[in-house]
Amino acid sequence: MIQITWMLGLLPDWFWSTLLIAGSLAILASFVLGSVPFIKNYKLPVQISGILAVVLSVWCLGAASNEEKWQVKIRELEAQIKIVEQKSQETNTVVESKVVEKTKIIKGKTEYITQYLDREVVKKEEIIKYIEQCPVPKEIIDLHNQATELNKAAEGKK
């Protein structure tokens, strides 16, 4: 059925209008000239062919108008898609600039943290060196830890 519609769609648009007019005139002529003896013999075939021509032309004109309606909708939607794509491009530009700014901030923080960690590691290494060179007795460390716990308990009572 689609192939038939496609083949009939290859015919020019004026053909279907002309066929409609010719079919209508054939039906009208068969009724008006039905009393003429020579034409009276061909009245039924002329009426049938006129009716078939009218039905076929109306069907094809309707299909063509339906196709045109859908093509108009397609063009409208394509225009809307172009507008949305432009807005999307603008939004993508804004989002990309925000991402670049946040990436710069994160990289800056990362570099700062890396530098801080490097300093702390160096300090810990220095502390380890000092402890190895001058060991502190374990009792002093335990007394220091107990003093901090007493201080926390005293602050908690306030």
The predicted-structure confidence for 124-154, as pLDDT tens digits, reads as follows 666 666 666 666 677 777 877 787 776 666 6
- Placement of tokens 């710069």 in the chain: 104
Average pLDDT over residues 47-57: 94
If pLDDT is split at 50, 70 and 90, which confidence band does 157 have?
low
Q: By the 8 A CB rule, do 33 and 39 touch?
A: yes
pTM of the model: 0.51
pLDDT value at residue 11 = 84
Distance in angstroms (rounded) separating the CA atoms of residues 150 and 72: 85
In this predicted model, what pLDDT tens digit does every residue of 16-26 receive, in sequence order? Answer: 899 999 999 99
Q: Percent of the chain scored above 70 by pLDDT?
A: 77
Q: In the chain, how many domains are there?
A: 1
Q: What is the pLDDT of residues 53-96, one digit of tens each?
A: 999 999 989 988 898 999 999 999 999 999 999 888 888 887 78
Contacts of 23 (CB under 8 A, 6+ apart): 49, 50, 51, 52, 53, 54, 57
Contact indicator for 30, 50 with CB cutoff of 8 Å: yes
Per the structure, the complete domain to which residue 84 belongs is given by 2-157
| pLDDT over 60 (residue 158) | no
Q: Which of 96, 88, 112, 19 is nearest to 58 (CA)?
A: 19
pLDDT at site 77: 95
Contact 57, 8 (CB under 8 A): no
pLDDT of res. 43: 87
